[in-house]
Amino acid sequence: MDEDATVQTYQNYIGGEWVSSVSGRTFENRNPANDDEVIGLFQDSTTSDVEAALAAAARAYDTWRLTPAPKRAELLLAAAARLVQHKEAFARDMTREMGKVLEETRGDVQEAIDMTQFMAGEGRRQYGQTVPSELRDKFAMSVRQPLGVCSMITPWNFPMAIPSWKIAPALVCGNTVVLKPATLTPLSAVNFVKVLEDVGIPPGVVNLVTGGAEVGTRMATHDVVKVVSFTGSTVVGRLVNQNAAPGFKKVHLEMGGKNVIVVMDDAQLELAVEGCLWGGFGTTGQRCTAASRVVVHEKVYDVFLREFAARAKALRVGNGLDEQTQMGPSVSESQLQTVMKYVEIGRAEGATLVTGGHRLDTGAYARGWFHEPTIFGDVAPGMRIAQEEIFGPVVSVMRCRSLDEAIAIGNGVAYGLSASIYTRDINKAFTAMRDMYTGIFYVNAPTIGAEVHLPFGGTKATGNGHREAGTAALDVFSEWKSIYVDFSGRLQRAQIDT
Ligand code: NAD
């Protein structure tokens, strides 16, 4: 190990101050493309740190909720402009801490820019309803109200985009925030929070506490917390839900996926291959929306699989900082071990390993967590590699004989985030669009690539009914108050007086 004495230590951000954890401990953030490189040391926080951050957020709420929404939005707009200025530097930091290629980390920062700009617009909207009253001389309307302190627990695969998806709508609605990023990617969260500090978000409105499950648990249980917004695995999401339930908190969960691309016999095959490559191996398969399953009509199965495998084999794997690289490493050693375990499971289940299947660990790969792009063919829908989220560069390809069968396979998993169909038949496209039970659906495009102004989220074990992004996010971070103003000067009884 190459311990660098100049490695920077990053602190928590609580009540407008950068402070160390009371634990006195830090944890390392290492580059998954080169484990010798320590990106930084971050606070290994405790419940006391969380409690201090939550108290700061509770104090700040009294003032922030009364700040006019357009004023709150001006700060978001300024933050978006600052993100634009620092986009390249933040993208490089992100590639170093989690491995995905520069083009994609630039996209991640861009998503934070887009979301922050979009939510700034909501400072002048947050439309409620004004409706006629059933009684004379009475006015009826509904307005959005903030909820208070929001806990935000985020994963490592979109380390700036996901915090921005939660923080921007929460702030524009008038809430205050404590953010806990994944321990694998705290630097991108620090970069984002620093931008908010730099543009003048008042002390305590946004707080950052780094650390692991202990921190997240307290954020889900503390009395002062009104909303818990979690993105991560289904296993942890269930725990968060259980922990938050006794306090009747509003819990927003975005969890795992096992997304499918259906390729029909009339599809433009070259386009479908491109889509499956990007959907399956973009972000090294580590997207919640990754196309980890492909269902191909039997008439084109062989030709599709041959071309898909050839293209996957040709992908340039390497350090994401190299502009030539098309696929980076897995985020961590343990994520790589998971990938390798599932490759073994796939073999043992009798699927055909069409390409890949091995760890890359020699030469330039020796110090990183690299794996070959891997495709299994002859996969049966019930196999574990077709059912469980692997979160790595492994795609399971299955055959179908009809659209109905493809839809049944598509829906036949525990998750329901994203699905797609490649076809030139509009009737098939609309049927699949209606019948795939997912929160997101694409036609002639892969399962990844959501835009910030539409709702984002999934069904079944992917989500609990809330949606991120778009104006749907406002429903997570605000609640409705219906207001009736009677200016008749007399008692009027609804449903009784006419
Ligand atoms: P994870 O569940 O391991 O961790 C997510 C966050 O929860 C991290 O910050 C982690 O430190 C924290 N955490 C861990 N234990 C906790 C506990 N007991 N209480 C509270 N917080 C706790 O997930 P990950 O490995 O960081 O991310 C990968 C997962 O995220 C995949 O399953 C992926 O599908 C999912 N994901 C979903 C979406 C979506 O929008 N649906 C988006 C991105 C990622």
Reply yes or no on whether the pLDDT at 1 is more than 80. no
Locate the ligand 1 atom nearest the alpha carbon of residue 463 and give its number: 41
Out of 150, 173, 276, 288, which one is annotated catalytic?
A: 288
Helices 102-121 and 161-173 cross at an angle (nearest 10°) of 10
Please report the pLDDT score of residue 4 as a whole number.
55
Pocket test for ligand 1, best of 157, 332, 342 (most atoms within 8 A of CB): 157
Please report the pLDDT score of residue 2 as a whole number.
46
Note the helical H segments in 68-156: 69-85, 87-98, 102-121
Locate the ligand 1 atom nearest the alpha carbon of residue 391 and give its number: 31
Cα 350 from Cα 378, distance rounded (Å): 8
Pocket test for ligand 1, best of 152, 236, 258, 289 (most atoms within 8 A of CB): 236
Q: What are the tens digits of pLDDT across the range 372-420?
A: 999 999 999 999 999 999 999 999 999 999 999 999 999 999 999 999 9
Examine the residue annotation and report whether 254 is marked as an active-site residue of this protein. Answer: yes
Please report, for residues 277, 319, 331, 378, 413, the alpha-carbon distance to residue 381 in angstroms, rounded to integers and kept in the order given.
Answer: 20, 34, 27, 10, 9
Q: What is the mean pLDDT of residues 457-478?
A: 97
What residues contact 140, with CB distance under 8 A and at least 6 apart?
130, 131, 132, 133, 482, 483, 484, 485
Reply yes or no on whether the pLDDT at 171 is more than 90. yes
What the block records as the tokens of 485 is 């103003």
The dihedral through the CA atoms of 329, 330, 332, 336 has a sign that is negative
Transcribe 448-490 into DSSP letters. Answer: ----TTS-B--EETTBSS--BSTTHHHHHHEEEEEEEEE-SSS
Locate the ligand 1 atom nearest the alpha carbon of residue 456 and give its number: 40
Q: Cα of 233 to ligand 1 centre, how many Å? A: 4
Reply yes or no on whether the pLDDT at 326 is more than 60. yes
Answer yes or no: is the C-beta of 154 below 6 A from any ligand 1 atom. yes
Examine the residue annotation and report whether 150 is marked as an active-site residue of this protein. Answer: no
Task: Name the band, by pLDDT with cuts 50, 70 and 90, for residue 48.
Answer: very high
Q: Average pLDDT, whole number, for the chain?
A: 97
pTM for this predicted structure: 0.97
Answer yes or no: is the C-beta of 448 below 6 A from any ligand 1 atom. no
Q: Cα of 432 to ligand 1 centre, how many Å? A: 29
Please report the pLDDT score of residue 315 as a whole number.
98
Q: Cα of 423 to ligand 1 centre, how many Å? A: 34
Please report the pLDDT score of residue 255 as a whole number.
98
Please report, for residues 25, 115, 153, 197, 292, the alpha-carbon distance to residue 106 in angstroms, rounded to integers and kept in the order given.
Answer: 32, 14, 22, 22, 23
Please report the pLDDT score of residue 6 as a whole number.
86
Q: What are the tens digits of pLDDT across the range 83-100?
A: 999 999 999 999 999 999
Q: What are the tens digits of pLDDT across the range 176-194?
A: 999 999 999 999 999 999 9
